[in-house]
Amino acid sequence: MAILKIAQMGHPILRQVADPIDPNAITDAAVQHLIGEMYETMLDADGAGIAAPQVHCSVRLVICTFEDGVTVLINPVITPLSDEKISSWEGCLSVEGMRAMVERHAEIRIQYYDQTGTQHDRIMKDWNAIVAQHECDHLDGILYVERCDPKTLSFNTEFSKYAAGLGEE
């Protein structure tokens, strides 16, 4: 497997709505190869997740590290289950060296196919919901910097020095 180049903010692929993957093609060699390379790239970059558009492939595929392990989400559909929101510090492999406070739905329903083509319907809360929403935003051409509190946007080097002044608890 190869480590793929990660698109950075400003690259047009990060602003596109990704195409769905034909469920009948999920087990094809091309999709399986992409999953493997994305996984290796995510590990190499020390990410909590990665979306196909981040590696220059505009399809609806993400890999997320949830509390119960790594999960492949193909053609995910997210439905918020309440108006309750939670805030957390987010960074992104496509916005290198920065982070900010982002408010997201605290509880979601997510429907998706896994890497074997099996359909899933799960309820996610807190950390898992945050990761899923962040990665799935990439499939709609949205970066976390569009959802963040702009007053908290910080370079990682400054964040480590001044986090308390940025609202870090």
Which tokens belong to 164?
């308390």
Please give the Cα distance from 18 to 75 (Å, whole number).
10
Domain ranges (residues) in the chain? 12-166
27 class by beta-carbon count within 10 Å (0-12 exposed, 13-18 middle, 19+ buried): exposed
Query: Taking the chain (169 residues) in consecutive chunks of 10 residues, what is each chunk's mean pLDDT?
Result: 95 98 98 98 97 98 97 98 96 96 98 98 97 98 96 89 63
Q: Which residues contact 109 (CB under 8 A, 6 or more apart)?
A: 78, 79, 81, 121, 122, 123, 124
Instruction: Report, as residue numbers or ranges, the catalytic residues.
Output: 135
Angle in degrees, CA 48, 22, 110, rounded to 5: 45
Comparing C-alpha atoms, which of 42, 105, 89, 44 is closest to residue 70?
Answer: 42
Fold of 12-166: Peptide Deformylase (3.90.45)
In this prediction, residue 159 carries a pLDDT of 83
Between the alpha carbon of residue 93 and those of residues 51, 103, 143, 144, 158, the distances in Å are: 10, 19, 11, 11, 18
Task: Please tell me the distance from the alpha carbon of residue 45 to that of residue 5, in angstroms, as a whole number.
Answer: 10
Q: Look at residue 136 in the predicted model and tell me its pLDDT.
A: 98
Q: What is the pLDDT of residue 87?
A: 96
